[in-house]
Amino acid sequence: MQTEVLNYIEFLSERYPKTNGNPIEPRAKRGGLGSLKDSRSR
């Protein structure tokens, strides 16, 4: 499941390199996976 999330993050970072001025990938790796899941289910 973690690889799925990482693939999804890579996919997003390719389409949207920056969000709010911050790269998506480092943010998610810092423990934002929970918030990523929340935003996906909404």
1-42 tens-digit pLDDT? 689 988 888 887 777 665 555 555 555 555 555 555 555 555
Domain carrying residue 33: 2-41
The CA-based angle 34-30-25, given to 5 degrees, is 90
Strand partners, 23: 18
Total-model pTM: 0.33
The token pair that represents 33 in the structure block: 């996976």
Residue 5, Cβ density class (10 Å: 0-12 exposed, 13-18 middle, ≥19 buried) = middle
> What is the amino acid identity at position 1?
M
Distance of alpha carbon 9 from alpha carbon 4, whole angstroms? 9
Q: How many domains in the chain? A: 1
